[in-house]
Structure 1
Amino acid sequence: MNDFYPEIEPYNNFLLPVDEQHQIYVEECGNPNGQVIVFIHGGPGGGCSAKDRRFFNPEKFRIILFDQRGCGRSLPHGCLDNNETAYLVEDIEKIRTKLSIDAWHVFGGSWGSTLSLVYAQTHPSKVKSLTLRGIYLGREHDTNWTFAGGGATRIYPDYWQEYLNSLPQGAEQGTVQSAYEIMIGDDKELAMKVAKAWSIWEIRCCTLIPDQKFVDEATADERAWTLARHEAHYMFNQCFLTSDQILNNCDKIQDIPTTIIHGRYDIVCPYDNAWQLHQKLSKSTLITSEGAGHSSSEPNTKHHLISATNALVD
């Protein structure tokens, strides 16, 4: 079974100004002369980690990673101003142009799959292939499944109750809007408490087998602050997408080789997201990661992701 490639360090990194306010952190790893692949992280607001470099053979890939607006090492940290899907799409194009890349392979998971798809539909000639994991289509019912008392809360009612306990009015505030209003409000102590609880709720649901170390690493205060606030910001605004925008625009990417990898028991983004996307992309390959949930680090999913990237260069 495939495992992560050895740890590597960037050979180049920089902050790219993308407007008068935001600077995007960008790094390059691997082989400067290799096949170019861009990693699009999840969340929104998740940021990249050193682990994310390790899905790719560093001898064969020029690996581009970046932190989206307001999260990770991008500046200003936590900023939600001018933070919308269309801006993120154009930030990706600015990175490609800055690095003088004609076209590249695109790799994204969870929210990263959403952004990868919107980017490809906006700039199809710039995308050589799509490798997508844990599909999230950004629709209202996709959000409600996890964050508004939907199906996920019936599977993990104990975890959900712990999240509700962080809210001043408990279940009465168990909506995205209520959490969002708290997290952008003036009471910063309460905002952080809710952000932390939101993040713990989500990350606990990510793996089929409970993994406390994974939860702790993903919900440190700084990461929880951007993950929860960015997610609520995007979800409250329907991800700045029109209804069924991604599925309705699949004709624009029919000719892009696409591999979809999805955990059979994904509670954060249910499997039907991947199934519906696959039905719209007649040339796509859907790989079911059996015995896995949502996380890219689960053994079966990691194996399939690395197989998919290896196939791009073998």
Structure 2
Amino acid sequence: MLHPPVAPFATGFLDRPDGARLFWETSGNPHGRPALYAHGGPGGGLGTGGYRRRFDPELYFLVGLDQRGCGKSTPWACDDLATLETQTMDDLIADLEALRDHLDIEQWLLHGVSWGSTGAAGQSGPAARRRPGAAEFRHPGDALLGPRLLPARGEGRPRPGLGAQRHPRRPDPRSA
């Protein structure tokens, strides 16, 4: 289900120690449940904000980030190939943590597509300082659905209707 379009109510840049400037925006309910949208790429970006329609603006405080070298963030890799040295998973995770600190968010739902799902998965892993309450990772070929809540590690199985359609991996008899 797509929600009505909403405009961001705050935007800014997060300066990183290596000289990168990361563009971020927030929309939805400033008192709602925090959720990060991690776009695909590399080289993608937030675009015109169509991603905001995936989230109910009355329920979520939505954060969008143009990752390194993407969208409004600078520098672009095509302008300075040396910046590719700082386009690593560790840098992306550090960027997400820095943005979460900057916006004073303790936990957030992570919604990633394509490359963004890789970064979101890395940010929610054991190396993350604070785990998200939920995460969802999608490949761009998946149907466009709104975020579904998945349990944080150790909280049991997904609630029916919110991820129960994911089946455990069945062992391949050829590998026995």
Tell whether the structures are fold-level matches, with TM greater than 0.5. Answer: yes
Letter of the 1:134 counterpart: H
Residue correspondence of structure 1 range 85-164 to structure 2 within 5 A: 85-121=89-125, 122-123=127-128, 125-134=130-139
When residues 260 and 39 of structure 1 are mapped into structure 2, their CA distance, relative to the original with a 3 A threshold, is farther
TM-score between both structures, scaled by the size of structure 2: 0.75
Q: Given the alignment of the two structures, is residue 45 of structure 1 paired with residue 40 of structure 2, yes or no? A: no
TM-score between both structures, scaled by the size of structure 1: 0.44
Letter of the 1:101 counterpart: I
Instruction: Kindly indicate whether the alpha-carbon contact (under 8 Å) linking 1:106 and 1:116 is maintained by their aligned counterparts in 2.
Output: yes
Residue correspondence of structure 1 range 202-241 to structure 2 within 5 A: none
Q: Identify which of 131, 135, 154 aligns with 1:255.
A: 154
Q: Distance in 2 between matches of 1:52 and 1:65?
A: 9
Q: Distance in 2 between matches of 1:254 and 1:107?
A: 16
Q: Identify which of 34, 38, 47 aligns with 2:32.
A: 34
Letter of the 2:153 counterpart: Q
When residues 15 and 261 of structure 1 are mapped into structure 2, their CA distance, relative to the original with a 3 A threshold, is farther
Q: Distance in 2 between matches of 1:125 and 1:81?
A: 26
| Structure 1 residues 122-181: Cα deviation after superposition (integer angstroms, max 9, x where no partner) | 21733010112129xxxxxxxxxxxxxxxxxxxxxxxxxxxxxxxxxxxxxxxxxxxxxx
Q: Distance in 1 between matches of 2:139 and 2:142?
A: 12
Tell me what 1:67 maps to: 66
Offset, 1:260: 6.5
Q: Distance in 1 between matches of 2:100 and 2:94?
A: 10
Offset, 1:23: 0.7
The alignment's C-alpha RMSD in Å is 2.8
SS of 2:133's equivalent? Answer: strand
Q: Distance in 1 between matches of 2:90 and 2:61?
A: 25
When residues 207 and 132 of structure 1 are mapped into structure 2, their CA distance, relative to the original with a 3 A threshold, is closer
Q: Distance in 2 between matches of 1:54 and 1:64?
A: 13
Q: Distance in 2 between matches of 1:133 and 1:260?
A: 12
Instruction: Kindly indicate whether the alpha-carbon contact (under 8 Å) linking 2:24 and 2:66 is maintained by their aligned counterparts in 1.
Output: yes
Q: How many residue pairs are counted as aligned between the two chains?
A: 151
Structure 1: state its 5+ residue gaps: 136-205, 209-252, 263-273, 281-314
Larger Rg: 1
Instruction: Kindly indicate whether the alpha-carbon contact (under 8 Å) linking 1:133 and 1:260 is maintained by their aligned counterparts in 2.
Output: no
Using the aligned pairs only, state the percent identity. Answer: 28
Q: Distance in 1 between matches of 2:64 and 2:112?
A: 11
Structure 2: state its 5+ residue gaps: 78-82, 144-151, 171-176
Residue correspondence of structure 1 range 230-309 to structure 2 within 5 A: 254-255=153-154, 279=169
Tell me what 1:80 maps to: 84
Instruction: Kindly indicate whether the alpha-carbon contact (under 8 Å) linking 1:134 and 1:261 is maintained by their aligned counterparts in 2.
Output: no
Which structure has greater strand proportion? 2
Which structure has greater helix proportion? 1
Instruction: Kindly indicate whether the alpha-carbon contact (under 8 Å) linking 2:106 and 2:130 is maintained by their aligned counterparts in 1.
Output: no
Letter of the 1:19 counterpart: P
